[in-house]
Amino acid sequence: MTIEDPSRYVPENALELAIGRQVRAFRANQGITVADLAKQANLSPGMLSKVENGLTSPSLATLHALGQALNVPVTSLFRKYEETREATNVKAGKGLTIERQGTRAGHQYQLLGHSSVQSPSVEPYLITLSEESDVFPLFQHEGIEFIYVLEGEVVYRHANKTYHLRTGDSLYFDSDAPHGPEELICLPIKLLTVIVGKE
């Protein structure tokens, strides 16, 4: 599993684009029109439009005027530029094999992506069930979970209900409730699972 270096793909006007997105976001959140903000900041609507679209490099005086008009610190206009942008690329069959509660029951977990900065946390897994077992652990953790059946057939329990899942079926649920495979009907079973933790 590799994380691409975001600095390799930074466009020349990345700073201008980041500032523009922040200005637009603050303006939209406050319900201010382009014309009204331009007037308050003593700018032409055309110039403000260029700033918001990253088509010009605003002067410090312009940034100061926009900050005052939006009632935000000038430094807040640079926040998006400072954020790290990551991408995870996993080649077929190369996911990071990890051990979780169900590993001992013949479950193989391959982590397909991970971000060190993302909130809430999102963990995509390829789960392979290849061995029958008399006992299946019931999982319980904060967040939500999405399961998509890539191959096989399984009866999956969530809280007090069971779901007969076949290839192409999916299940989306609150993972605070006990859940897990209850009956393996057709092996091997491959599940694409995405776990989203709470912020």
User: Has residue 115 been placed in a domain?
Assistant: yes
Per-residue model confidence (pLDDT) at position 14: 81
Q: Give yes or no for a contact between 162 and 191, defined as CB atoms under 8 angstroms apart.
A: no
* pLDDT-derived band at 112, boundaries 50, 70, 90: confident
Per-residue model confidence (pLDDT) at position 199: 57
182 and 95 part of one domain? yes
Q: What CATH number has the domain bearing residue 46?
A: 1.10.260.40
Side chain identity at residue 44, one-letter code = S
Q: Is residue 158 exposed (0-12), middle (13-18) or buried (19+ Cβ within 10 Å)? A: buried
Number of Cα atoms under 13 Å in the Cβ half of residue 173: 22
The answer to whether residue 114 scores a pLDDT higher than 90 is no
User: Has residue 3 been placed in a domain?
Assistant: no
The answer to whether residue 150 scores a pLDDT higher than 90 is yes
Is the model more confident about 130 or about 1? 130
- DSSP lists the bridge partners of residue 162 as 157
Per-residue model confidence (pLDDT) at position 140: 85
Q: What CATH number has the domain bearing residue 102?
A: 2.60.120.10
Dihedral of the alpha carbons of 95, 96, 99, 104, in degrees to the nearest 10:
40
**pTM given for the model:** 0.55
77 and 99 part of one domain? no
Query: Between 14-29 and 45-52, two packed helices, what is the crossing angle to 10 degrees?
Result: 120
Range of 10-14, 25-29, 83-87, 128-132 with top mean pLDDT: 25-29
User: Has residue 124 been placed in a domain?
Assistant: yes
- Show the domain range for 44: 12-82
User: Has residue 155 been placed in a domain?
Assistant: yes
Q: What is the mean pLDDT of the chain?
A: 82
Q: What is the mean pLDDT of residues 49-78?
A: 91
Condensed to tens digits (0 to 9), the pLDDT of residues 15-57 reads 888 899 999 999 999 999 999 999 999 999 999 999 999 899 9
User: Has residue 2 been placed in a domain?
Assistant: no
Q: What is the mean pLDDT of residues 117-145?
A: 77
| Spatial CA neighbour of 192 closest among 139, 132, 131, 124 | 124
The C-alpha R_g of the chain, in whole angstroms, comes to 24
Question: How many CB atoms within 10 Å of residue 19?
Answer: 25
Residue ranges of E strands in 17-134: 87-89, 96-98, 107-111, 122-129
